[in-house]
Amino acid sequence: MDIINNLVKDIGDGIAAAIIGLLGQGLAADIVIMAIAAIAVFAVASGGFAALTYAERKIVARIQDRVGPNQAGPFGVLQPIADAVKLFTKEDTTPASADFWVYQLAPIIVAVFATLTFTVVPFAPGVVGTNLNIGAFYIIAIGSASTIAILMAGWGSNNKYSLLGAFRTVAQLVGYEVPMLLNIIPVIMLTGSMSLVDIIERQTGVNGGWGVPFIVIMPLSALAFLISGIAETGRSPFDLLEAESEIVAGFHVEYSGMKFGLIMMGEYMNALGVAVMFSVLFLGGYGGPILPPYLWLVLKTFGVFLVLMWLRGTLPRVRIDQLLNMNWKFFVPLSVINLIMIMILGKVFVSDPALFKANGGILIQPFAQVIIFGASSLALLILALAVVTRRVRKDRLAEAEVLQQRREANQQIAAAMH
């Protein structure tokens, strides 16, 4: 088992030793090692993307009671390759009045920023591209910087619908970043560090951690983060602006061939990034009892992505105004109140004797603290849902009553006319 656990580390050691033997212990060797590691990260991300497009089409097809791709290779396994070949051989038309450099650079920027999130994700203990001490914050920052690329794509196409679609997409993306931000903060509060490796260690019990994944401690944050992440990457049911059945396909209408392929790749990698982030932040990353760490991470990520695909195949689309209303009137206030609640609870009910001596509060067992956090999160969720459903029901009943009155008035008029 240790062999598999340390497989990548040993291979990395071997390659690094070979290169240092070749180039000496200087700058050139460092850069070459980093370049090879970068290519490895990029390969992992792209491989994941390719596998996921196939898995998604198959699984969504089964949910919709059909088979999915089964022509290219046995069980359609070579479908991603077929898609890639098709996109490569499509003609590369550029609109005549497009702004050339802006138009050409936008898909590249979308795809590049999507792959940069994988540089800080830990795949196993000791196997991580780079263990930044601001890992979680860095991922959020990179995600937010990619909204500019969408504006570039929309504007560079010199197309009214493209521009309008880009504005609305940016409004959606930008809106759902706020709950994502606000729901990572409780995780960081209970960890004491923004580094992803530290967050995983806190959840797997190494170095004095909880031993409990954060989804048990704060289910509300996890749920809000997941839903915001789905909306952030523009997946169904939040994909009104780029749905395949819309006539004008949003901001990427003027892109054909592999540039469109790059935009799609960026989108899928964003979705994969959200799934990986959720697994790392809330499910415990590579931690787990028997299987090797890589397998745990893959299983957890795929599980989260399964939920994403399930939602895609099942739910109808949400309108853009419902989407934005839900964000600003429900998710953001809920996230802020959740944050304040966890902050105050964490200071009132402490489980560490040293902190108790320093700051006071009520000293309880760590196990009890987990239960208090989890129960209060769930209570807040139920309360919020109750408030919202009651208000929505009141609105709906009022609307129904207005319609009923109008119908009666129409009937009276019709009766009076005869």
Partner 1 sequence: MTVAQIVFILLSVVGLGAALLVVTTRNLFHAALYLIASFFAVSGFYILLEAGFFAAAQFLVYIGAISILFIFATMLTRTVRGMVPRNSQWQAALFVSVILFVAMLLIFSPANFSLPFGQGRTFGGAEWQFAEVPNKPGVLRDVPASSINDFGRALVDLNQYGIALLLSGLLLLIGMVGAIWVARERKPREILAERARMAAEEAEERAKAAAKAPEVSVAHAAVAHDAHHH
Partner 2 sequence: MSYAPDDIRRKAKDGLAFIILPLKAMRTDYAFIGVTLIVACALIGVVPILNYLIAPQTPNKAKRETYECGMETVGDTWVQFRAQYYLFALIFVLFDVGGVLLFPFAVAYNSVNLWGVIVVSLFALTLLAALGYAIKKGALNWE
Our CB check for partner 1 shows the closer of 38 and 174 to be 174
Examine residue 37 and tell whether it contacts partner 2 (CB under 8 A).
yes
Restricted to residues 193-232, the positions that interact with partner 1 (CB under 8 A) are 194
Site for partner 2 contains 188 (CB under 8 A): yes
Cα 161 to Cα 97, 154, 207, 269, distances in angstroms? 15, 8, 54, 25
Q: Across the strands, what pairs with 248?
A: none
Binding to partner 2 (CB under 8 A) within 363-382 occurs at: 366
- The closest alpha carbon to 305, from 288, 327, 323, 283, belongs to 283
Decide: residue 293, CB within 10 A, 0-12 exposed, 13-18 middle, 19+ buried.
Answer: buried
Nearer to partner 1, 75 or 137 (CB): 137
Scanning 23-31, 217-225, 273-281, 305-313 for contacts with partner 2 by CB under 8 A, the matching segment is 23-31
Q: Name the 3-class secondary structure at 157.
A: coil
Q: Which span sits near partner 2 by CB under 8 A: 75-83, 170-178, 306-314, 379-387?
A: 170-178
Among 321, 413, 417, 418, binds partner 2 (CB under 8 A): 321
Candidates 135-143, 276-284, 285-293, 376-384: pick the segment binding partner 1 (CB under 8 A).
135-143
Nearest residue (CB) to partner 1, 166 versus 304: 166
351 binds partner 2 (CB under 8 A): yes
Among 182, 230, 271, 309, binds partner 2 (CB under 8 A): 182
Q: Which residues contact 399 (CB under 8 A, 6 or more apart)?
A: none
Site string for partner 2, 86-125 (x = CB under 8 A): -xxxxxxxxxxx------x--xx--xx--xx--x--x--x
Distance between CA atoms of residues 309 and 263, nearest Å: 19
Q: In a 3-state reduction of DSSP, which class is residue 124?
A: strand
CB-CB neighbours of 97 under 10 Å: 8
Q: Binding to partner 1 (CB under 8 A): which residues in 22-51?
A: 27
Considering only 170, 381, 384, 388, the residue that binds partner 1 (CB under 8 A) is 170
Which of 70, 93, 133, 405 forms a contact with partner 1 (CB under 8 A)?
133
The β-bridge relationship of strands 127-128 and 122-124 is antiparallel
Give the number of other Cβ atoms within 10 Å of residue 242's Cβ.
20
203 binds partner 2 (CB under 8 A): no
Residue placing its CB nearer to partner 2 in the complex, 108 or 299 = 108
User: For residue 127, what is the DSSP state?
Assistant: E
Exposure letters 183-214 (e unless 16+ CB within 10 A, then b): bbbbbbebbeebbbbbbbbbbbeeeebbebbb
Please tell me what DSSP assigns to residue 352.
Answer: -
Taking CB under 8 A as the criterion, the residue among 155, 214, 238, 296 binding partner 1 is 155
In the complex with partner 2, the residue whose CB is nearer, 65 or 244, is: 244
Contacts 24+ apart (CB under 8 A), 239-242: 239/317, 240/317, 240/318, 240/319, 240/320, 240/323, 241/165, 241/168, 241/169, 241/172, 241/320, 242/165, 242/169
Residue with smaller CB distance to partner 2, 53 or 191: 191
- Please identify which residue in 140, 248, 295, 318 interacts with partner 1, judged by CB under 8 A: 140
Helix (H, G, I), strand (E, B) or coil at 197: helix
User: Cβ 309 to partner 2, closest distance in Å?
Assistant: 25
- Closer Cβ to partner 1, 44 or 151, answer by number: 151
CA of 377: how far to CAs of 171, 219, 369, in Å? 29, 6, 12
Q: Which residues make up the interface to partner 1 (CB under 8 A)?
A: 27, 99, 102, 132-134, 137-138, 140-142, 144-145, 147-148, 151-152, 155, 158, 167, 170, 174, 177, 192, 194
